[in-house]
Amino acid sequence: MHRRKFLGLLGSAGVGTIAASTAQAAGGKQFEGYPDSFSVLFDSTECIGCRKCEQACNEVNNLDEPEKPFDDKTVLEKKRRTTSDAYTVVNKYEVPGKSEPVYRKIQCNHCMEPACASACFVGAFRKTEMGAVTYDPSVCVGCRYCMIACPFHIPAYEYDKVIEPRVMKCTMCYETRLIKGELPACVEACPKEALLFGKREQLLRLARRKLQTYPESYVQHIYGEEEMGGTNWLYISGTSFENLGMNTDLGNTPAPQYTSGALKLVPGVVALWPLLLGGIYAVSRRKDKIAEQERQESVEQAVAETKEQAKKELEEFKEKAERDKKKEVEKAAQKAREEAQAERKDEEGGSDE
Amino acid sequence: MSDQETGKGRSSLGPFHIITGLILLFGVFLTVYRFTQGLGPMTNLSHEYPWGLWIGFDLLCGVALAAGGFVTTAACYIFGLKKYHIAVRPAVLTAMLGYLLVVIALTYDVGRPWRLPYPFVVQSGTTSVLFEVALCVMIYLLTLIAEYSQVAFEWLRMSVARSMVMKVILFLTVLGVILSTMHQSSLGALYLIAPSKMHPLWYSAYIPVYFFVSSIVAGLSMVIVEMSLARRFMRRKMDEAHERGYEDVVLGFGKAAAFVLAGYVSLKVLGLAVENDWGYLVTGFGGLFLIELLGFFALPAYVFAVAARERRVGLVKWTALWAVLGIVLNRINVSLIAYNWNLSVGEHYFPGWMEFGLTIFIVTLGLVLYRYCVTRMPVLYEHPEYTDTH
Ligand code: SF4
Ligand code: SF4
Ligand code: SF4
C-alpha cells in the first residue's frame, strides 16, 4: 500500500473519532494542546514544484483564477507569499552546492498556540480540536492585528473589497474537507510524498524515523516541532531551513506568552493606581491645608500685631494729647500770668504819667 | 464684545477659512472614495504592511500627543499644582478632540468600521492587547467628554448639570490617569507579540514602559505648544489669568519635561544594556536609533532644563515642538521602520498620497473643531458667572 494513502486513511479514521469527541470537548474542557490533533508533514526532498497543491487549494476554496495558469513554471522565478487569492504558494530556492533547486510550500502553519488567535480582539480565530486554525468572517472587524502578529507572514487581506473584506488564509480545509473525513485538498493533489497527513504525534515519529534512516539526506531538525511553541504543519528538509527562506530564529516561546506578561499587569494598575493617586492627592490636600492654616495663622498674628500696634499708638496718642493738653494749659496759665503782669505794669506806668 | 468679534471672524473669509475649507472639501472626496472604492486603491497597504500611516501617525501619535489631558489634570487636581489650572481646560479640550479624531481615523482604517463595537457587544478577544487598547480608549473618550462637559454646561448656562460634573471631577481625573496609563503603554505592547518582525533596537520587553513614559513627555510638550499657539492666534479669547499664568505653565511644564525625558533616556539605555543590543548600534538602523534617542530625546531634555532654569520662555516653546517631533519620529520608527525591518528592499511600505491626504484632513478637522470650541466656550477664559473652578 502507498504510504501516503495509508496515512491518509489512518487520518480519516481519526477524523471520525475526533469528530465524535468534539461534543465532549465543547462541554467546558480547557485547551491543553490537543494531543490528538492532525498535522501535515512537508518533505522538501520530495517536492518537485509542480504547483498541483496550489491549484487544488484554489479550486477547493473558490479563489480567483490566477493570471498565469498553474502549470506555468515561470511563476516560480519570483519569491511569492500567500495573498488573498492564494492560501498557499510554492517557492523555488537555489541552494549552494546543489545542482537541483529545492521547493517549499507555504501556507498557514496552524500553530498550536496561534499568534493570530491571541491577537484578535473579537476572537475570530479558533484553534480547533482537529488542529486547524479557522477564521470566522462574521465577527471580523478588519483591524488586521492578526496580520501584524503572525510570525510566519501568513494572513492576507482583501483590500479590494469595499463592503465585506475578509482575512484570508489556509484553513487546513477544515470545513470543506476535514470535518467530512477527507484529506486537505493540497495533500490529496500532491503526486509525490511531499505532503503527508496524519496525527501530529504519528507524523513526528515518522519524520524522526526518516531523519534517522537517511541522515545524509536530511538536516536533523523538524521545523515546527518546537518553533513558536509548535505548529501543526511540520517540515523536514535536505538543506538548512534558512536556505528555504524560513526563519530559524523564532524561538520556542508560544506567541501569546509575549503579551500575557503585559496584560497581567493591567489588574495591578487598576488596583494600585487609585491608591497611589489617592495618596498623592491626600498629601497635596494636606499640604494645601497646612499652607492654608499657616496663612491663616500669620494673618491672625498680623491682625493681632496691628491691633497691639494700634493700641500702643492710641495710648501714645492719648499720652501725647494729655501732655499737649498739660502744656497747653501751662502755656495758657503762663500767658495769663504774663498778661496779668503786663496789665499791672501798664497800670503802674499809666499812673506815672 | 466677544460676540461682535466672533461675528467679525465669521463674516470675513481669512486665509484660515479658505485653506481649511479646501482641505475639508478634499476630505469629503477622500471619504467618499474610501467607502466606495475600498482600502486597496486608496492606500499602499499590503499583506506585509497591514498597518500604515493611519495607525503609525493617526493612532499612535494621535493618542500620545493627546496625553496632555491626563498629565495636566493629574498635575492640577491630584498633585495640587494649582498654578497649572489655566492649562486644564485647553488640555482637556485637545485631548478630547484628539481621541475623537483617533476614533474617526480608525473608521477609515479598519475594514468594517460599523463593527467597531463588536469586541464589546458580540464577542471579546480578551487575550488581545488590542482589546485592552480599544476598551481603554473608548472609556477614556467618554471620560474626557464628561470632563469637558463642564465647559459646555457653562457655555449653555446649565448650572445644575455643571455642578454635578464638578462633584465627580476628581473621580474622572483618577479614572483618566488609570486608563491613560493602561492604553498609552498598551499601544507599545501591541508590538510585543511580534518579536521576530521588529528590529531588536526598538523591540523590548519594556516597550510598554517606553510608550507610557514618552507619552508624558508628549503630553507636557503638546500643552506648551498648544498654549503658545493659542496665545498667538486666540489671544483675544484669553483672560487676565491666562495671560499671567502662561509663563508659569510653559516654564513649569518645560522643567517637568526635562526630568521625564532624562528618565526616558536612562530607561532606554538601561534597556539596551539589559537586552544587550549594543552591537546593533553600529549598523544603519543603529544610526537612526541614535539620531532618535540622542537628537530627539536626550538633547531636548538638556535644552529644556537650561531654558527652564534661565526662564527663557521662547526656547522652552521651541524645545517643546522639538520633543513633539521626537515622539512622532519614535512612533513612526516603531510602526513603520522597525516593523518588518528584515524584509527585502522592494517590499517596504511608503504611504500613498491619499493616505497623507486623509491624515492632513483629520488634523485640519481637529484644528477647526478646536477653534470652534475655543471661540465659543470658556476654555481660555473664566466664565464670568462661574468663577469657582478651583
Ligand atoms: S501561521 Fe500565522 S495565521 Fe497560521 S495559525 Fe500560526 S499565527 Fe495563525
Ligand atoms: S482583522 Fe479580523 S481576524 Fe484579524 S485581528 Fe482584526 S478582527 Fe481579528
Ligand atoms: S490545507 Fe486546504 S486551504 Fe490549506 S493550503 Fe492545503 S488546500 Fe489550501
| Cell numbers for A279 | 495618596
Q: CA–CA separation, B136 vs B183, rounded Å?
A: 6
Which site among B34, B42, B103, B129 would you substitute to test the A interface, given the most A Cβ atoms closer than 10 Å to its Cβ? B129
Q: How sure is the predictor about A287, in pLDDT bands with cuts at 50, 70 and 90?
A: confident
Cα of A130 vs centre of ligand 2, distance in Å, is 22
- Cβ density class B86-113: b for 16+ within 10 Å, e for less: bbbbbbbbbbbbbbbbbbbbbebbbbbb
d(CA A40, CA B280): 38
For residue B345, the 8-state DSSP code is: G
In the predicted model, what is the mean pLDDT of residues B336-349?
Answer: 90
User: Do residues B338 and B194 make contact, with C-beta atoms less than 8 angstroms apart?
Assistant: no
The C-alpha atoms of residue B359 and residue B336 are separated, in whole angstroms, by: 16
Cβ(A126) – ligand 2 distance below 6 Å? no
Long-range contacts of residues A23-28, Cβ cutoff 8 Å, at least 24 apart: A25/A129
Tell me the pLDDT tens digit for each residue of A190-224: 999 999 999 999 999 999 999 999 999 999 999 99
User: pLDDT at position A99, please?
Assistant: 87
State pLDDT tens for residues B44-57: 999 999 999 999 99
**CB-based contact B138:B120 (threshold 8 Å):** yes
Q: What is the average per-residue pLDDT within B125-129?
A: 92
Spacing, Cα B106 to ligand 1 middle (Å): 25
Using alpha carbons only, what angle is made at residue B302 by residues B301 and B307, rounded to the nearest 5 degrees? 100
φ, ψ of residue A109 in degrees (nearest 5)? -90, 0
Q: Give A306's Cβ-side CA count (13 Å radius).
A: 5
Phi, psi of B219 (to 5 degrees): -60, -50
Confidence category of residue A250, pLDDT binned at 50, 70, 90: very high
The answer to whether the CB atoms of B174 and A277 lie below 8 A apart is yes
- Per-residue confidence (pLDDT) for residue A293, from 0 to 100: 81
Instruction: For residue A120, report the distance from its CA to the centre of ligand 2, in Å.
Output: 5
| A148·B193 Cβ contact <8 A | yes
- CB of A126 within 8 Å of a chain B CB? The answer is no
Neighbours of A272 (CB within 10 A): 13
A278 vs B contacts (CB less than 8 Å): 174
pLDDT at B175 > cutoff 60? yes
Put simply, the answer to whether A149 touches B123 (Cβ < 8 Å) is: no
In a mutational test of the pocket of ligand 3, which residue from A38, A59, A60, A89 has the highest number of ligand atoms less than 8 Å from its CB?
Answer: A60
Is residue A352's pLDDT more than 50? no
Residue B134 corresponds to which amino acid?
A
* Residue whose CA lies nearest to ligand 3 atom number 6: A186
Question: How much is the pLDDT for A215?
Answer: 94
Parallel/antiparallel/unpaired status of strands A38-43 and A233-236:
parallel
Q: Do A118 and B127 touch (CB under 8 A)?
A: yes
Ligand 1, atom 4: nearest CA belongs to which residue?
Answer: A108
| Location of C-alpha cell 480547557 | A30
Count of CA atoms in the C-beta half-sphere (13 A) of B57: 16
A75 lines ligand 1 (CB under 6 A): no
pLDDT in tens, B63-115: 999 999 999 999 998 888 888 989 999 999 999 999 999 999 999 999 999 99
Q: What is the pLDDT of residues A87-113, one digit of tens each?
A: 999 999 999 888 899 999 999 999 999
Report chain B's mean pLDDT, rounded to a whole number.
Answer: 91
Predicted confidence (pLDDT) per residue in A21-47, tens digit: 333 333 333 344 677 899 999 999 999
- CB nearest to A259's CB, from B48, B123, B189: B189
Q: How far is B8 from chain A (nearest CA, A)?
A: 44
> In chain A, what percentage of residues exceed pLDDT 70?
88
Point out the ligand 2 atom lying closest to the alpha carbon of residue A139: 7
- Name B117's Cβ contacts closer than 8 Å, sequence gap at least 6: none
Which chain A residues are closer than 8 Å to B77 by Cβ? 281
State how far residue B339 is from chain A, nearest Cα, in angstroms.
9
| Contact status, residue A79 vs residue A91, Cβ threshold 8 Å | yes
Read off the pLDDT band of B389 (50, 70, 90).
low
What does the mean pLDDT of chain A come to?
A: 84
The minimal CB distance from A273 to the residues B127, B134, B181 is found for: B181
Question: pLDDT of B256-306, one tens digit each?
Answer: 999 999 999 999 999 999 988 899 999 999 999 999 999 999 999 999 999
- Do A287 and B80 count as a contact with CB atoms less than 8 A apart? yes
CA atoms within 13 A on the CB side of A50: 15
Chain A residue numbers with beta carbons less than 8 Å from the beta carbon of B51 are: 144, 148
Per-residue pLDDT for A353 more than 60? no
Between positions 96 and 125 of A, the ones with CB within 8 A of B are 115, 117-124
Interface size A-B, in CB pairs within 8 Å, comes to 175
Residue B184 to chain A, least CA–CA distance (Å): 12
Q: What is the ipTM of this complex?
A: 0.92
Nearest listed ligand to the Cα of residue A158: 2
Per-window interface: B 191-230 vs A, CB < 8 A: 191-197, 205, 208
Q: Whose CA is nearest to atom 3 of ligand 3?
A: A170
Residue type, A280: I
| Residues of chain B by 3-state class (helix, strand, coil), percent to 5 | 80, 0, 20
- Find chain A residues with C-beta within 8 A of B140's C-beta: none
Beta-bridged to residue A39, according to DSSP, are A198
Kindly determine whether residue A140 and residue B79, on different chains, have CB atoms separated by under 8 Å: no
Put simply, whether the predicted model's pTM sits higher than 0.80 gets the answer yes
**Which ligand approaches the C-alpha of residue A172 most closely?**
3
